[in-house]
Structures are given as C-alpha cells and as structure tokens.
C-alpha cells in the first residue's frame, strides 16, 4: 500500500508553529515533507512566503495534499504554481489578524488576506471552536461593512461567511503529553508554587497577573512564583512589580531547553492565565497535564479545554476577580487537587496520537 505524501509549508517556523509542524509530521500516518521559512519579520513573511515557496517547490507531482498555515498569501501561491496539477490544499488556522483584539497593528488588507486564504483553500481547519466561531463572526461583520458602501443597484457579493463555514472544521493542535508527565505533589506544608508560563506581552496581560500577586501577598498569604514566560525588551512596569514581590519570585526564568522547562513546570502547583488572546492554549494544557491546578479566565478557548464540571472551581469571572480567586485556590489547594485529580489524564485528548489521527482524517478526506 502506497502511503499518501503530504507537502507541509510552514512560513513562520518557530515557537508553537514549529512545535505543531514537527509534532504532526512525527505522529502522522502519512509521509509529510516539511518545507519551512524562518520565523522572522512576520508582516513581510506574509507577503513574500508564497513567492518563496513557489521557487522552493516547483514539482508538485509527488504530493497528494498540500498543508499551509495562516501566515502567507494562498491565492498568490496557487497563482504562482498554476496549472491543474496543484493538489488539494488544507489551511490550518493557528491565528488570524481579523480576530486579533485591540492592540494589533493589522490593516484591512491583513483581514482580507485571512478571508482570501480561507476562500482559496479546499479545507480550513481551526485550532479551537472559539477561534472558528470568532473568525466566522468577524468575516460576517466585515461583509456587512463592505456591503454598506455598495450602490443600491449593484448586486451584493457572494457570501464569504457561508462559503468558509461550509468547508471549515476544528482540530486541536497536539501536545506532547507523554513528555510532560504529572509531577508528584510537593507535600503538605510546602509553600504553594504559582506558575506563569506565558510570553510577557500585552495580550497575555502579565501586568494584571503581577498586580493580583501583589494583592494576594499584601494579605500575607504564603506563595512562591515561577516566571517561565519569554520577556521581550521594552515591556514597561513589570520589572517594578516583580521587584515588589521580592523573594517570593524564584530565581528561574525562561528555559528554551524543553525537557528542563517541563521539569520546572511539574514542580509547580497552580498555573495562571490572564490572557485576552489565546486561540488554544498549549502552555496551559502542558501545565495541567503536569499536575498543575489551573486558574483561567472564563473566556477565549479555556472553557473548551476544561471539563464543564470544573468550571466553577478553576475559571474566574474577569480581571478584577483574579486576586480573590487566587486567594481562594491557595487556601483550598489540597481540596482542589482532589477535585482536579483526573484532569491531567483528561488532557490526553490533546495528546499527539489523538490529535494526529483527527488531522490525518482531514487530509484523507481531500485525497481523490
């Protein structure tokens, strides 16, 4: 039996995009050939990746399906390849400019590129139901805005939203659960350890998190905090907040080496997020699989990740509720551990064997 061959083009090969591409390739039942461009200058990359890939791969005859991700111009790529020999194309949507919250420098052209990519693909796969629903809603609003400027006698354009919805689905990215392994409880009497494993950028709201820690510390509640997120330069105000926490902040920082990072995650008790932008949440899934009790906002993709019966215990209402929710979790940590005892195992539904099978099924459906 001939194994179908898949061409996977990743135009921004770094971070979670790199982890996803390698993970799917390694876990897939198909023969996936990975062709990549460096994770640099994302705006320029989105404009030029199609032309670069068309020169890097000019013979499509060995491939049954092409997989691309969102940071390129798919109509340009199809035009550059030309001809009837282009295999079906699956577009995997890690993120989209049209759904990005305030603070993005995205333009209308960026939003239209998202739409054009989806219309040009044969199948569109989103990394969460939250992302898919938000994307379709944003496209609908964009269509409505564009139609307002049309003369009354000019016919409305075909419905983009309906066309994209008809060929889209959800398949979660895989997580290397087997590499994580649940950490052993640190023992009765150990100072609870809080984990922050998100980038120190505005959309993850590290300032909201650090101010909540300051409030909890002001009540005399014992805790330690591990800050494992990347810290780009120029993020104002956070250094002062970190200094105010003093010795509560353990001398651990961003760890690029994966096995060491996962070991540090497994030594923590509670993983916290304050994000306003998160289409899936790989870092949270990894930490929960490692045994951390989650404390997450009741928004974004988090209600999808956490079983509904645990929502009252691990999802908080809004930013103003974070400090009180964290105080309650610290006071009832042992009880929470018992309630969430099955949660690490439930993260297995995001493990690569299950995720790859779901993604492979989308490829199989495109093969004539």
Extract the tokens encoding 271. Answer: 């993983």
How high is the pLDDT of residue 342? 95
CATH superfamily of 5-174+351-366: Glycogen Phosphorylase B; (3.40.50.2000)
**pLDDT tens-digit series, residues 311-364:** 999 999 999 999 999 999 999 999 999 999 999 999 999 999 999 999 999 999
Closest CA to 285 of 311, 306, 261: 306
Mean pLDDT, the chain, rounded, equals 91
How many whole angstroms separate alpha carbon 258 and alpha carbon 263? 9
Residue 183 — very low, low, confident or very high, per pLDDT cuts 50/70/90? low
Residues 111-139, mean pLDDT to the nearest whole number: 96
How high is the pLDDT of residue 286? 94
How high is the pLDDT of residue 233? 59
Question: Per-residue pLDDT for 138 more than 60?
Answer: yes
Is the pTM higher than 0.75? The answer reads yes
177-348 belongs to CATH 2.60.40.10: no
Delimit the domains of the chain by residue range: 5-174+351-366, 177-348
74 alpha carbon, distance to own chain's centre: 21
**Composition of the chain by helix, strand, coil, percent to 5:** 50, 15, 35
How high is the pLDDT of residue 42? 83
**pLDDT tens-digit series, residues 146-179:** 877 677 666 666 689 999 999 999 999 999 886 6
Q: Kindly tell me the burial class for residue 47, based on how many C-beta atoms sit within 10 Å of its own C-beta (0-12, 13-18, 19 or more).
A: middle
How high is the pLDDT of residue 176? 86
Rg (CA), the chain: 22
How many whole angstroms separate alpha carbon 121 and alpha carbon 65? 11
How many whole angstroms separate alpha carbon 165 and alpha carbon 161? 6
Q: Is the dihedral of CA 308, 313, 314, 316 positive or negative?
A: positive
């Amino acid at each position: 039996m001939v194994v179908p061959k898949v061409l996977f083009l990743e135009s921004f090969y770094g971070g979670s995009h790199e982890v996803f591409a390698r993970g799917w390739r390694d876990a897939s039942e198909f023969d996936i050939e990975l062709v990549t461009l460096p994770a640099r200058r994302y705006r320029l990359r989105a404009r030029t990746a199609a032309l670069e890939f068309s020169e890097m791969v000019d013979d499509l005859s060995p491939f049954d399906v092409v997989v691309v991700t969102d940071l390129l111009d798919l109509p340009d790529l199809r035009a550059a390849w030309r001809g009837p020999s282009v295999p079906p194309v699956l577009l995997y949507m890690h993120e989209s400019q049209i759904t990005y919250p305030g603070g993005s420098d995205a333009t209308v052209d960026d939003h239209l590129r998202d739409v054009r990519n989806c219309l040009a693909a044969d199948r569109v796969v989103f990394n969460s139901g939250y992302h898919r629903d938000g994307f379709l809603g944003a496209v609908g609003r964009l269509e409505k805005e564009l139609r307002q400027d049309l003369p009354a006698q000019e016919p409305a354009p075909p419905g983009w939203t309906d066309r994209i919805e008809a060929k889209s689905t959800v398949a979660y990215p895989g997580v290397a659960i087997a590499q994580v392994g649940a950490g052993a409880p640190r023992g009765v009497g150990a100072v609870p350890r809080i984990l922050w494993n998100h980038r120190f950028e505005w959309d993850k709201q590290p300032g909201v998190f650090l101010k909540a820690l300051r409030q909890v510390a002001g009540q005399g509640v014992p805790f330690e905090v591990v800050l494992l997120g990347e810290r780009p330069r120029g993020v104002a105000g956070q250094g002062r907040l970190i200094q105010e926490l003093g010795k509560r902040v353990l001398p651990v920082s961003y760890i690029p080496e994966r096995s060491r990072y996962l070991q540090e995650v497994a030594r923590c008790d509670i993983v916290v997020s304050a994000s306003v932008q998160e289409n899936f949440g790989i870092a949270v899934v990894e930490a929960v699989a490692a045994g951390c009790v989650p404390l997450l906002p009741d928004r974004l993709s988090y209600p999808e990740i956490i079983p509904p019966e645990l929502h009252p215990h691990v999802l908080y209402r809004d930013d103003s509720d974070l400090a009180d929710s964290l105080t309650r979790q610290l006071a009832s940590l042992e009880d929470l551990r018992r309630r969430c005892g099955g949660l690490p195992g439930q993260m297995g539904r995001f493990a690569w064997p299950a995720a790859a099978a779901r993604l492979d099924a989308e490829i199989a459906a495109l093969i004539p």
